């Protein structure tokens, strides 16, 4: 009799975990921006791909307006944002910066727009081009560029399809 109770308990627990995984898979396939942002801010975002790497949901062009609403949020996320699986980048990242990187991935039609997900700025020091991390003010500047780009207003003097030009075109900013 104990064996049957144990078997029933094991089946119930297995079903529970399978249901949770299905819910997570559904979120990856049909993500909502608000749920995603909430998970990132709380540090509960742990969805992984088939190889065990934290992955970005399958956002599309239709998600860009909702994502842009968070582009100027400087909340430092309690855990590292999902980055390219081969990246060794560690450390905190601003939510808005991560969201802009997510949008960049949509533009490039890939999950990972670059290896680390860090926004950098090219600078010239002693006649050599180098890079440095961006400040909050610079992230705001880049967020504005992405918003203008999405609204068809950037680059200012070009009539274009949104995906035929790049929001960071002719700037010193790039994704590392």
CA atoms of 149 and 143, how far apart (whole Å): 10
CA atoms of 99 and 81, how far apart (whole Å): 10
pTM of the model: 0.79
CA atoms of 176 and 171, how far apart (whole Å): 14
At residue 157, the pLDDT reads 57
**Which position has the token pair 């601003």?**
94
Q: Who's near 131: CB < 8 A, 6+ residues apart?
A: 120, 121, 122, 123, 174, 176
At residue 30, the pLDDT reads 80
CA atoms of 61 and 59, how far apart (whole Å): 7
At residue 37, the pLDDT reads 92
At residue 27, the pLDDT reads 72
Phi, psi of 124 (to 5 degrees): -105, 120
CA atoms of 47 and 81, how far apart (whole Å): 11
CA atoms of 140 and 159, how far apart (whole Å): 24
The residue among 122, 80, 83, 77 whose CA lies nearest residue 102 is 83
At residue 90, the pLDDT reads 66
Do residues 168 and 119 make contact, with C-beta atoms less than 8 angstroms apart? no
Q: Average pLDDT by consecutive 10-residue portion of the chain (176 residues)? A: 52 41 64 90 85 87 96 86 73 88 91 82 85 92 93 66 79 90
At residue 12, the pLDDT reads 41
The distance from CA 128 to its chain's CA centroid, rounded to whole angstroms, is 31
CA atoms of 23 and 29, how far apart (whole Å): 10
């Amino acid at each position: 009799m104990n064996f049957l109770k144990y078997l029933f308990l094991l089946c119930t627990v297995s079903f529970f975990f399978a249901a949770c995984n299905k819910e997570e898979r559904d979120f990856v396939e049909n993500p909502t921006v608000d749920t995603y942002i909430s998970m990132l801010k709380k540090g509960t975002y742990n969805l992984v791909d088939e190889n065990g790497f934290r992955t970005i949901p399958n956002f599309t062009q239709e998600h860009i307006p909702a994502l842009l609403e968070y582009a100027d949020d400087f909340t430092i996320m309690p855990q590292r944002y999902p980055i390219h699986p081969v990246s060794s980048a560690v450390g905190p990242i601003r939510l808005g910066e991560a969201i802009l990187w997510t949008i960049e991935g949509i533009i490039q039609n890939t999950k990972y727009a670059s290896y680390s997900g860090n926004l950098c700025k090219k600078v010239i020091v002693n006649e050599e081009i180098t890079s440095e991390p961006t400040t909050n003010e610079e992230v705001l500047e880049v967020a504005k560029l992405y918003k203008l780009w999405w609204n068809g207003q950037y680059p200012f003097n070009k009539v274009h399809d949104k995906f035929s030009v790049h929001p960071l075109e002719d700037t010193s900013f790039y994704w590392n």
